[in-house]
Structure formats: C-alpha cells, structure tokens
Amino acid sequence: MTEKDFLPSEYSSSKNKGVVRWKSPSNIALIKYWGKKQHQIPANPSISFTLDSSATDTTVSYRKLDGESAGFSQAAETHGFDLFFEGELKNDFRPKIETFFKRVEKYLPFLRGYHFKIETSNSFPHSSGIASSASGMSALALCLMSMEREFVPKMDDHFFNKKASFLARLGSGSACRSIEGPLVQWGNHSYIEGSSDLYGIPYPYRIHDVFQNFQDTILLVDEGQKQVSSTVGHDLMHGHPFAELRFGQAHTHLSDFRSVLADGNLEEFIKIVESEALTLHAMMMTSHPYFILMKPNTLEIINKIWAFREASKANVCFTLDAGANVHVLYPENEKNTVYEFIKSELLQFCENGKHLCDRTGLGAKEFKT
C-alpha cells in the first residue's frame, strides 16, 4: 500500500455530533527504531511487544461547525479543539496535537469541519519517565478513525487498523506499533511479507507460546524530564559515523529474530534484545553532540541482572527506552523467582521503589459510547 491508499474518497454520510473513545497501550521495542527520514519514515525496521496495562484512555467528542465557522476553520492556521489531560485544560499539549492534525488532515479531510473536545488520561503516573507519546498518539488516531468509520460504514477492520497505524506514525513514529499485539513490526524488511515503512503490522510469522504472555517490569530509575528528546536523538543519526552499520545491524537482528520467535529460543532472544538496548545508547554516546541518558542506577540494575542470570540461569533480560528506566523482561513461568529477585535486589535503585508490572497485550480497545 502507498500513502495514496489512505486518502479517502467521498464520504457517504455525515454526523452533526458524536463521541468516540479508545484505550491504547504503550509498547516496548525489542529491535529499536532510532533515526528517521522525512515524514516519520524509519531509517531501519523495528519490532516491539505491545504492553497491556500501561495505556492512554482518550475520548473525543465532536461537533459539526456551522457553515460560516467551517469556512473560517478551512482558512485558519489552527484546528478547533480543546485538550483536557486528566480533567484539566492543558494548553501546553496543544502544539503537538496541532502538528499532528496538520500532518493528518490530508488523510482525514473532515477534520476542518468539526470542533473537538479531547479528554485524555494515562494509566501510568504522569512524569514517571514512561513515554506517553506512543499510547497517546495511537489512542487519538484510533478515535479519529472511529469517526471516519461513521462516514464510511463499509470500512473493514483490516483497513481500519492499517490506517490507524499509519496516522499514529505521523504523530509519533513508535505509536504505529501500539494498535495491535502482542508483537508488532514496522519498517520495510526484505523477508517480512507485508512490512512497510508507513505502518506497523502484527508480526506475520510463528510466535512461540512463551512470548504470548511475556512479563515486563518497568523500573522507574528517573522520573524527571529527559534532557534530550527523541526527536533530537533521531535527528542526530543524520551524519552519525556509525549510522549505516547500525541500520544494517537492525535488519540482521530482525532476520535472526524469525527463528528465535518461532522456536522460543530465549538464549538468543536475550542476546539480541540486550544488544539492541545497548546499541541504542551507544548511538547516543557516539553522536555529535554526544549525550548519556542512562543513570548510575541504570548500570547497577544491568549488572545485578547479569549476575542473577549467571547464578540462577533464569531467562531474564533488560531493555531500555530513550531514558534511564529499565524494562525487565522474563517469561510468565519464571514470574515468581524473577519478581522476588526484582523486589529484593532491584527496587532499591528505583525512585522511591517505584515500578510498574506490565506484560504483553493484544492492542487497543474501543469503548462503545
């Protein structure tokens, strides 16, 4: 499919007002997206676990503008919307939503004809250092798709999910991997049939049962704002001395993942996942300007995990986002021993012992309003 396939033809019906609501999860990349081209096109393919309980709940109430205001809105620089975050009007989130609306209006031409009230909240604590852009942008994209489906009633679920992912990508790249689950792949890759730079797809090959309910305990090492945003980080991959090698490595890791995922080969899974996490941070440390997002406690946790794994032979490993927090990954059937280890040895390195217990999930859910 190309961008053109997401341009709608004439809408067959219209609605004066309505309400749509979606809850969409966050995701954690196993093979990382780091570096992008124009229009949120990834420099390399990635794959992630969709999470279950770390999610954003978004309700969009829409009201048709009368002829005159709609005309005004067509001409205006901005779109008509109010944004409430956890019950409060949040004007500082407006620019991000405005940029998103501008990027997607070509694909959702009804946007200018309505006023929107967007009410959103996260299941995870605000400023926990958990990125909310993946869950937030995917929830909003899904709400807009539910609206579009009202105008194109014969739209099937397959197209609905693809276009939701396509739109979410324009809000925040990794958001396109939050629509479905438990494993979503995004970015062209030679062996993955149906893979695309434009949207995420449910991983199309065999996935061993062990990955159907994988645990992710998120250790909140640093709850502060990141010093370097991911937008800046992606940008620093332009002209990065190791960029091409890194992009090639992601392709190779994704090829190697096929048998790992099919056979449930946890030893190889751990090697690839940890290598990806450290490579992501190595790219940050070797860009110009260079920066470090890990904290001393991030390294303490990594070393503890390695020592515990060596001693216990547990299949536990870590991955990192673009921040200091650590995602501890392990199979469900090792939950008791690993969680005991986390409590006794790792929580001391978290801010006030804070952590979130999550696991792989099946994607976003609609609430019928």
Residues that bind ligand PMV (CB under 6 A): 29, 32-34, 46, 131, 133, 172-174, 230, 234, 280, 321-322
Question: What is the DSSP pairing of strand 114-122 with strand 81-85?
Answer: parallel
Minimum distance from CB of 32 to ligand PMV (Å)?
Answer: 4
The residues that bridge with 118 in the sheet, in sequence order, are: 60, 83
Indicate the residue among 42 and 331 with the shorter CB distance to ligand PMV: 42
CA distance readout (Å), 142 to 90, 198, 295: 21, 16, 35
Q: Are 272 and 31 in contact (CB under 8 A)?
A: yes
Closest among 178, 123, 187, 221 to 360, alpha carbons compared: 178
Q: Indicate the residue among 80 and 187 with the shorter CB distance to ligand PMV.
A: 187
**What is the smallest separation between the CB atom of 252 and ligand PMV, expressed in angstroms?**
16
Cβ–Cβ < 8 Å for 345, 304: yes
The smaller minimum CB distance to ligand PMV, of residues 114 and 203, is found at 203
CB closer to ligand PMV, 33 vs 349: 33
CB of 346 to ligand PMV, least distance (A): 21
Task: State the alpha helices, DSSP H only, in 172-265.
Answer: 230-235, 243-263
Residue closer to ligand PMV (CB basis): 130 or 338: 130
Cβ 173 to ligand PMV shortest distance, Å = 4
Residue 203: left if φ>0, alpha if ψ -120 to 50, beta else—which one? beta
Name the minimum Å distance from CB 112 to ligand PMV. 26
Residue 255 phi, psi dihedral angles, 5° rounding? -65, -45
Give the residue with the Cβ less far from ligand PMV, 113 or 136: 136
Minimum distance from residue 267 beta carbon to ligand PMV (Å): 23
Question: What is the spatial distance between Cα 20 and Cα 22, in angstroms, rounded to a whole number?
Answer: 7
SS3 at position 264: coil
